[in-house]
């Protein structure tokens, strides 16, 4: 096992003369004027470690196998580097070839590869500069999420992946069953499937959200959050959709819509500030290679006071813009990405929180306003992407919630426990959801959601 002081990120901070042993995968190798230059990377940082050997110091049968992709262990001493890009390099004294990578079969030779090509080699793309940066950012962002909530007294809840209820009431769920699909049991005098012999005795699905279960814990532990995988069986083959993705969902008791907005703003600012402090090299790479305004955009989000406007005001601004919208703007319509980006990039030039959406376009669990037309919902919109957070104050009144379940044509018996929470010790509470991969796209500037998750699950694709 490599210890923390043996990572390349640490070796690059050593002073000349310090002994060092490095492990990693060869990025490049070149021979020049009796000197062999090898660059390796172990994934610990964006920068490579340059290793220098005198010609003849490595047996030819070993040297011939030190090619791009090969895995090596090198020992020697750190020396001042006369070249550009690094202050020190490793003067090699011994090299052990741990694993060869024959050039005729290794797909990632030293040349520029498109992201589409790299997706075809998902088991090797992690060794590229782009995906090394992506997954270091993903790691840091995951840590920052937990750190934010733990520092603010939230309890981490592992909500179920298998569930019998649809949190969104919108279908598109993956069903899970142990029944023989070629010989499904039927109920007597009916064509309906008899689930009594299925594993859970009734229909079960992969979860689309941990929100409803998180509400159980919020009404006992006050402030809680979930961070886990969720699933949507939507046949959407776009750069913004996955069948499996991760969600962050805090739920807070004794919290209204104002408190929800405050938490969402503080949360986003904290995460972006953390990345700017801890992943600067990686973000600079994305800024240079994929999104030239990335650092400026992130800095704007971290330093701005978010604008807050009601939905009706947002519609008025859009209607008066004079823009020829692809999707019509009118009161009652959901805001589309083009509308959200206009508000954040043209009108306010910073993040915007829109509240008070029409109840007809929002989920059943959102608290109804007294006007009978709107609910206490909020969407956090960010420049460059549009909606990044969606949330609401939850409906805590039993009679109103029951009626809303009926209005959405949902089976009330599936939500008996959710209603029970309102019968016994109900309290005002609120929460929001943030798609982790959507956030990853935003902070890296990557344009395809398949490129910010280790193993993308999309229609027709479930490798590894």
What integer is the mean pLDDT of 423-436?
Answer: 98
Looking at the chain, the number of H-run helices and the number of E-run strands are 13, 16
251 and 134 fall within a common domain: yes
306 and 421 fall within a common domain: yes
Q: What is the CATH number of the domain that holds 144?
A: 3.30.930.10
158 and 39 fall within a common domain: no
Residue at 191 is within a domain: no
What integer is the mean pLDDT of 119-135?
Answer: 95
- pLDDT at residue 291 greater than cutoff 60: yes
136 and 29 fall within a common domain: no
Q: Which residue segment(s) compose the domain that 154 sits in?
A: 129-173+208-451
- Those residues with Cβ within 8 angstroms of residue 9's Cβ, 6 or more apart along the chain or in another chain: 44, 45, 47
155 and 288 fall within a common domain: yes
73 and 166 fall within a common domain: no
- pLDDT at residue 170 greater than cutoff 60: no
Residue at 89 is within a domain: yes
The model carries a pTM of: 0.95
94 and 237 fall within a common domain: no
**pLDDT tens string 187-219:** 988 889 999 999 999 899 999 999 999 999 999
What distance in Å separates the CA atoms of residue 344 and residue 405, rounded to the nearest whole number? Answer: 34
400 and 441 fall within a common domain: yes
358 and 444 fall within a common domain: yes
Q: Which of 78-87, 182-191, 419-428 has the highest mean pLDDT?
A: 419-428
Residue at 202 is within a domain: no
What integer is the mean pLDDT of 233-251?
Answer: 93
Residue at 39 is within a domain: yes
146 and 82 fall within a common domain: no
Instruction: Read off the pLDDT band of 168 (50, 70, 90).
Output: low
pLDDT of residue 33: 86
**pLDDT tens string 20-38:** 999 999 999 999 988 999 9
240 and 357 fall within a common domain: yes
54 and 143 fall within a common domain: no
Residue at 140 is within a domain: yes
Concatenate the DSSP letters of all residues of 217-285 into one string: HHHHHSEEEEEEEEE------STT--SEEEEEEEEEET--HHHHHHHHHHHHHHHHHHHHHH-HHHHHH
- Those residues with Cβ within 8 angstroms of residue 182's Cβ, 6 or more apart along the chain or in another chain: none
Residue at 324 is within a domain: yes
pLDDT of residue 172: 86
Please give the tally of structural domains in the chain: 2
Q: What is the CATH number of the domain that holds 40?
A: 2.40.50.140
CA-based nearest residue to 444, from 328, 301, 329, 289: 289
Residue at 245 is within a domain: yes
Question: Do β-strands 223-231 and 155-156 pair in parallel, antiparallel, or remain unpaired?
Answer: parallel
pLDDT of residue 169: 59
């Amino acid at each position: 096992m490599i210890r923390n002081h043996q990572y390349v990120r640490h070796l690059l901070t050593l002073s000349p003369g310090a002994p060092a042993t490095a492990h990693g995968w060869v990025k490049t190798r070149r021979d020049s004027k009796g000197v062999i230059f090898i660059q390796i990377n172990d994934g610990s940082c964006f920068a490579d470690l340059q290793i220098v050997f005198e010609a003849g110091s490595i047996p030819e049968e070993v040297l011939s196998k030190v090619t791009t992709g090969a895995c090596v262990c090198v020992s020697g001493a750190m020396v001042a580097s006369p070249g550009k890009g690094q202050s020190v390099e490793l003067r090699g004294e011994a090299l052990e070839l741990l694993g060869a990578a024959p050039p005729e079969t290794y797909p990632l030779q030293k040349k520029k590869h498109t992201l589409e090509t790299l997706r075809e080699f998902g088991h090797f793309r992690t060794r590229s500069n782009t995906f090394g940066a992506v997954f270091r950012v993903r790691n840091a962002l995951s840590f920052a999420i937990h750190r934010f909530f733990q520092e603010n007294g939230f309890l981490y809840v592992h909500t179920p992946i298998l569930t019998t209820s649809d949190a969104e009431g919108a279908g598109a769920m993956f069903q899970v069953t142990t029944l023989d699909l070629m010989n499904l049991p039927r109920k007597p005098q009916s064509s309906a499937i008899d689930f009594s012999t299925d594993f859970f005795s009734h229909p079960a699905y992969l979860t689309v959200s941990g929100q409803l279960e998180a509400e159980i814990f919020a009404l006992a532990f006050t402030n809680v959050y979930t961070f886990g995988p969720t699933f949507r069986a939507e046949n959407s083959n776009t750069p913004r959709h996955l069948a499996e993705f991760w969600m962050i969902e805090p739920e807070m008791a004794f919290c209204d819509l104002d408190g929800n907005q405050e938490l969402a703003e503080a949360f986003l600012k904290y995460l972006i500030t953390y990345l700017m402090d801890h992943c600067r090299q990686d973000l600079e790479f994305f800024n240079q290679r994929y999104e030239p305004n990335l650092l400026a955009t992130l800095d704007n989000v971290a330093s701005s006071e978010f604008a807050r406007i009601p939905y009706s005001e947002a519609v008025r601004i859009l209607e008066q813009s004079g823009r020829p919208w692809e999707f019509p703007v009118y009161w009652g319509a959901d805001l589309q990405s083009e509308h959200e980006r206009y508000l954040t990039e043209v009108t306010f030039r910073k993040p915007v929180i829109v509240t008070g959406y029409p109840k007809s376009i929002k989920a059943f669990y959102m608290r109804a306003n007294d006007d009978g037309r709107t609910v206490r919902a909020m969407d956090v919109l960010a420049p460059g992407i549009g909606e990044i957070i969606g949330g609401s104050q939850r409906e805590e009144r039993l009679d109103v919630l029951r009626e809303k379940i009926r209005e959405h044509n949902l089976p009330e018996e599936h939500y008996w426990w959710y209603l029970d929470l309102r019968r016994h010790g109900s309290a005002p509470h609120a929460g929001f959801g943030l798609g982790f991969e959507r956030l990853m796209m935003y902070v890296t500037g990557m344009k395809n959601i398949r490129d910010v998750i280790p193993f993308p699950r999309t229609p027709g694709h479930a490798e590894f």
